[in-house]
Structure 1
Amino acid sequence: MQRRSRPGKPPHVFDRSPEWDGLAAFAERPLPHAMLGIVSGRRRMGKTYLLRALVEQYGGFYFGATAATETESLRQFAAALAEHVGSPVAFSFATWDDAVSYLFGLAAPRDGQMPLLVVIDEFPYLAKTAPELPSLIQREIDRFQVEESRMRLLLCGSAMSVMGGLLASTAPLRGRAQLELVVRPFGYRAAAEFWGVASSPALAAQLHAVVGGTPAYRRQFLADDVPGSPEEFDDWLCRTVLSPRSPLFREARYLLAEEADIRDTALYHSVLAAVAQGNSTRGGIAGYIGRKSVDISHPLNVLDDSHLLVREADVFRAGKSQYRITEPLINFYEAVMRPSWARLESGQAVDVWAQSAERFAAQVAGPHFEAMCREYVLGSGRALVGSALGQVGSGVVTDQAARRQIEIDVAVVEPGSGGSSSAVHLLGEAKWGTVMGLSHLERLARARELLAGRGLDTTGCALVCFSGVGFSEALRVDAARRGDVRLVGLDELYG
């Protein structure tokens, strides 16, 4: 197979450079054998948009499956394949076995020809009605690891649990994939650029706390309806997310219902509501919904597999962890919309939102701001850490003398190796709607002292205050005087 210059990412594909580079490398790798790639990601992330652009750049065959019976799906696949090869008559496959065999036959080696890129989108729809498909593909992949082939097959889908299961445990395709790509939401900085609000960090942070980094929400759902300033945010929210006439109004419900492994949606909404209300431990969630901890293991695992919930370990306490909702729109729905659903359906968005300011700050914007700060430290804020980055997370430091627990919103801990102790490089507190003062800094300093007393290395530990609204003059003066304190506001987060 001949090499050719790699096509650049098309200008209409926003961001996604790492994803494009991975897909492009897969599509043109000059191996004489068949290759398989798995592309997944929740709905609305732009997977189809990205893969269609890839097929346009590299040529090849794209098929987007739909919810249909096995017979209709096979007929649709045959028609698309006939159109791709330029057949004047439609194909007719008796079984998926015939269809898969024919598809791989198109990638037979030909002198001077590049690899054949094939994309099967929404693969879970096909696998649901034809569960033998993964085994059929495995057979062809294995065959063309011995015989030569130009096949570069990408299977894509939005049902995260199904796509993850393709390569898991004893699944037929386990060990066969050369690419496993998850298309995730835009980070908070990229999302601000995408929405065109990067010049207003306060607006960008509020917007991201509600709609996150999902590309489809701006253009397909809202037709580029974007607030122009922080002052316009309330009106925008009431006419979009909180309006029963808006596609975003029921989107959080649809996101949950679309996951294949979720049957009892009421139970899953209760679990998510518990987390949104601040019950972030397994015991707290179980107590909130009136179940035993063992009874919620399956819902927690399914939500985790679906990338709607994430379990984050406490960096200071082994065996302790907390759950966090990863999709901002779902968190907003559970915290603000679901408790007032009947009123919102009757058109009382303005009144509901006016009464939700405290709940929004405490249950939505505050926790989201903490997650943004951790993302900042992982990315452009790495300069806050003078040495190796280590593990970025959150945790609790127990102050037994004062009989209290100090919550650390942002922490960087480097595990010890050999005979060396674990090192704490950063301790941070994040406040969305509070002007931070000396008391916040003193709490961080006390936590550092306690960790040092436990044998952790804190000699290079920086203390960082993150605030969405600013810092007191006394704190600014003290930070300027000391060399171990950093103040990070919205301008720095988006700078």
Structure 2
Amino acid sequence: MFINRVKEMNTLNKEFKKPESFTVIYGRRRAGKTTLIKEFIKDKKSFYFFADKQSEYLQIERFKNQLGDFFKDEFIKKIDIKDWDTLFDYFIAKIDSIDQKFILVIDEFQYLCMINKSFSSIFQRIYDERLKNKNIMIILCGSLISMMYSEVLAYDSPLFGRRTAQIKLKPISFKYYKEFYSDISREKLIEMYSITGGIPKYILSFDREETPLWNIENNIFDRDNYLYSEPKFLLQEEINDLSRYFSILQSIASGNTKISSISSQLQINSSGLTPYISKLIELDILEKEVPITEDILNGKKALYKIKDNYLNFWFNYVYPYQSYLEIENINFPLEKVTTSFDLWVSKTYEDLARESLLWDSTIPFPIKSIGRWWDKNEEIDVVALGEKEILFGECKWSNKHVGLSVLFKLQEKAKKVDKKGKKEFYILFSKSGFSEELIEYSKVNSNILLNNF
């Protein structure tokens, strides 16, 4: 299935029209990078090579044989080629005879750099001297974010300055999540999303006809299913000390969201945690939060959360209970999920409520930034800032109607926020709707908004 990716496809199509195009696509595994590329090139003249961890000689041999198949040249397949320069000489000679734009894709580019530390320099020279002025579009794609950055994107990387566009592929937005399903309630959609997030591979791995809890039991808790060990395989190529990183992620998942509390639980000095935290942020696994009204550099109130819904779920409900799951005693872990599932989904509901404001046409002002607010005693789920406006929101994932008391409590909490003279608005999100009294109240107070998201 190819869902959304409209912006990314537009970028690739614009690049295709340029006389010189060098596009870098990167992002975490399972996000759909290869699917995006294959959708883009399906009606274009293109050569696609998927790199792996084989020796350099075997990679050159495979590249050569694929070129032979592509150009229907059996003779080249019988020749022994031992270096990239000779291989690209052949490739360039062949595309010179093609009278249309050609696309060269190297997927998992970082593996070529792993097997030969000089490969990015070799490719830079080949590009500058022989490919740059050809009627060709280059696409380099990679899943190891840190290596793609160091080999292609960073200022001191050999290929720096060559790219004309870069796409950091992110998970599918919830706005398009329903396109993976047919005839499903909004409630179930949010429950599914709270586990899979927007990663296409995870979404498609779930039985969409079954309940979220059924999928947890029969997919995630199944030792033979790839989802059971996914985070280990996802992270082991990016990081060296897997146990240290896992300990940090487990600590955050269990509620230790401040550096000081992580440090206290793991008995690691706060300064010793910083490089690990920074690496996890670089890999798009963690994100740093501060109250929306404060500067992101404020360290005193900073909290850390696991960005990816599936990784977050795994560190909450799989990693802590692996002793049970390894011997197929799933009853205890399943009970833990069942008894706390509504609370689990409610946190995702808050995230989605904030996200939904970005395409909500009923918001009476352009949103400049959006997030949460908290102090020692209070927390506000949603705070959106405009130039001269501020919006406060509360989210309720419950089976009860939301009434006036929830609004009044939100207004009380909002009094503690420094509004800097901004005009105040309030919004309430409810899974189950609102009381008639609150609905009537909102009709005569234009700064009160109700949302059944």
Aligned partner (choices 240, 243, 247) of residue 263 of structure 1: 240
Matched, 1:352 2:333: yes
**For residues 292 and 444 of structure 1, do their structure 2 counterparts lie closer, same or farther at Cα, with a shift above 3 Å needed?**
same
Report the Cα distance in structure 1 between the residues aligned to 2:262 and 2:92, rounded to whole angstroms.
49
Report the Cα distance in structure 2 between the residues aligned to 1:473 and 1:299, rounded to whole angstroms.
50
Structure 1: give runs of 5+ residues left out of the alignment.
1-11, 399-403, 416-422
The residue number in structure 1 matching 2:311 is 330
The residue number in structure 2 matching 1:457 is 421
Deviation at 1:329, TM superposition (A): 1.0
Name the SS for the 1:347 alignment partner: coil
Aligned partner (choices 7, 16, 40) of residue 26 of structure 2: 40
8 Å contact kept, 1:424–1:456: no
Report the Cα distance in structure 2 between the residues aligned to 1:273 and 1:236, rounded to whole angstroms.
22
Instruction: State the one-letter code of the partner of 1:457.
Output: G
TM-score, normalising length from structure 1? Answer: 0.83
Report the Cα distance in structure 2 between the residues aligned to 1:414 and 1:284, rounded to whole angstroms.
33
**For residues 456 and 341 of structure 1, do their structure 2 counterparts lie closer, same or farther at Cα, with a shift above 3 Å needed?**
same
Deviation at 1:350, TM superposition (A): 4.1
The residue number in structure 2 matching 1:250 is 229
The residue number in structure 2 matching 1:373 is 353
Deviations 1:55-92 (A, max 9, x none): 22112110011221222112211222222222212153
Instruction: State the one-letter code of the partner of 1:22.
Output: T
Report the Cα distance in structure 1 between the residues aligned to 2:160 and 2:71, rounded to whole angstroms.
30
Report the Cα distance in structure 2 between the residues aligned to 1:433 and 1:340, rounded to whole angstroms.
28
Matched, 1:72 2:58: yes
The residue number in structure 2 matching 1:411 is 383
8 Å contact kept, 2:317–2:336: no
**For residues 161 and 467 of structure 1, do their structure 2 counterparts lie closer, same or farther at Cα, with a shift above 3 Å needed?**
farther
8 Å contact kept, 1:340–1:352: yes
Report the Cα distance in structure 2 between the residues aligned to 1:104 and 1:296, rounded to whole angstroms.
49
The residue number in structure 2 matching 1:443 is 409
Report the Cα distance in structure 1 between the residues aligned to 2:310 and 2:178, rounded to whole angstroms.
16
Aligned partner (choices 339, 354, 368) of residue 320 of structure 2: 339
Report the Cα distance in structure 2 between the residues aligned to 1:15 and 1:324, rounded to whole angstroms.
26
**For residues 273 and 325 of structure 1, do their structure 2 counterparts lie closer, same or farther at Cα, with a shift above 3 Å needed?**
same
Name the SS for the 1:117 alignment partner: strand
Q: After superposition, where does 1:175-324 map in structure 2 within 5 Å?
A: 175-196=161-182, 199-219=184-204, 221-222=205-206, 225-228=207-210, 232-257=211-236, 259-260=237-238, 262-318=239-295, 319=298, 320-324=301-305
8 Å contact kept, 1:361–1:432: yes
8 Å contact kept, 1:212–1:328: yes
8 Å contact kept, 1:188–1:372: yes
8 Å contact kept, 1:335–1:359: no
Aligned partner (choices 352, 367, 373) of residue 389 of structure 1: 367
8 Å contact kept, 2:365–2:389: no
Report the Cα distance in structure 1 between the residues aligned to 2:245 and 2:393, rounded to whole angstroms.
32
TM-score, normalising length from structure 2? Answer: 0.90
Deviations 1:342-381 (A, max 9, x none): 212333334422233344444x3232222111211122x2
Report the Cα distance in structure 1 between the residues aligned to 2:265 and 2:342, rounded to whole angstroms.
21
Instruction: State the one-letter code of the partner of 2:134.
Output: S
8 Å contact kept, 1:78–1:92: no
Deviation at 1:144, TM superposition (A): 5.8
Report the Cα distance in structure 1 between the residues aligned to 2:10 and 2:233, rounded to whole angstroms.
31
8 Å contact kept, 1:387–1:425: no
Instruction: State the one-letter code of the partner of 2:129.
Output: R
The residue number in structure 2 matching 1:27 is 16
Report the Cα distance in structure 1 between the residues aligned to 2:318 and 2:435, rounded to whole angstroms.
34
Matched, 1:119 2:105: yes
Deviation at 1:208, TM superposition (A): 0.4
**For residues 434 and 290 of structure 1, do their structure 2 counterparts lie closer, same or farther at Cα, with a shift above 3 Å needed?**
farther
Report the Cα distance in structure 2 between the residues aligned to 1:96 and 1:432, rounded to whole angstroms.
58
**For residues 86 and 196 of structure 1, do their structure 2 counterparts lie closer, same or farther at Cα, with a shift above 3 Å needed?**
same
Deviation at 1:303, TM superposition (A): 1.4
Structure 2: give runs of 5+ residues left out of the alignment.
none
Deviations 1:370-426 (A, max 9, x none): 2111211122x2x24312211112222x5xxxxx533122211236xxxxxxx3431
Deviation at 1:434, TM superposition (A): 6.9
The residue number in structure 2 matching 1:486 is 449
Report the Cα distance in structure 2 between the residues aligned to 1:119 and 1:201, rounded to whole angstroms.
39
Deviation at 1:234, TM superposition (A): 2.4
Instruction: State the one-letter code of the partner of 2:2.
Output: V
Instruction: State the one-letter code of the partner of 1:375.
Output: E
Name the SS for the 1:465 alignment partner: strand
